[in-house]
Amino acid sequence: MTYIYQAIFYRPILNALIYLYNTIAFHDFGIAVILVTVLIRIALFPLFHSSSKQQMAMQRIQPKIKKIQELHKNDKEKQTAALMELYKEHGVNPFSSFLLLLVQLPIMLGLYWVVRSGLAPGDLAGLYSFVAQPQGVNSVFLGLINLAKPSVVLIVLAAIAQYFQARLAIYRDPKNTAPPSSAEKMAKNMTFIGPLITLFVFYNLPAAIGLYWLTTSAFSVFQQILVNRHLHKDETFAI
């Protein structure tokens, strides 16, 4: 790991986990992981909230996107320019979902290296001066799941939470009686593809990663509910 990555991600995550483990997590590493995840999501709430709204807005303007694609189907340059103008008009960034993934990756990687580097007292190198070195770290979450090893249960629960979040993120105009567009069909397909990817990618990773993904997915469910309520209250959906 490079010095920059250690300084920005690994050490802050390690110290936050151990500090919470020593203080309010009842010496349960799993509870510390949940608390750190919630703190991260609260800190990044504006970014995630804005991105969720933009994804919903992207679905809402799909009829306009389809019209532009049909109108300029023989001129890709005009089509691209018209789409960019449409996105600008509605304040939409079509790449916002990728930004969310990019933000998540270094955090999960930092957590992975914390667990992989070892949780024994001699392995906890990089603690800040104000974070006490624990005698040992209990990696068994609630006395049931060893977070240093893979857990099918946590991964399945994380996939289920991700599925519900994806379902909530699908926007369908109640006034639109037309058959679902290709974009709407793709969004529905992604509600299944995303959880399947989660099962495949996280299957052999330490359960701490699965617990992080479960917590952040559950947080996303509640956040998506807030976005949906805002959508129903404000039909103009100004971003």
Does residue 1 register a pLDDT over 70? Answer: no
pTM above 0.75, yes or no: yes
Domain ranges in the chain are 3-233
140: helix, strand or coil: strand
Q: What digits encode the pLDDT tens for the residues 113-163?
A: 888 887 876 778 888 999 998 888 889 999 999 999 999 999 999 999 999
As a whole number of angstroms, the longest Cα–Cα distance in the chain is: 68
Structure confidence by residue, pLDDT tens digits, 11-70:
999 999 999 999 999 999 999 999 999 999 998 888 887 777 777 777 778 778 888 888
Which residues does 29 contact at the CB level (< 8 Å), separation at least 6? 17, 21, 119, 137, 138, 139, 140, 141, 147, 208
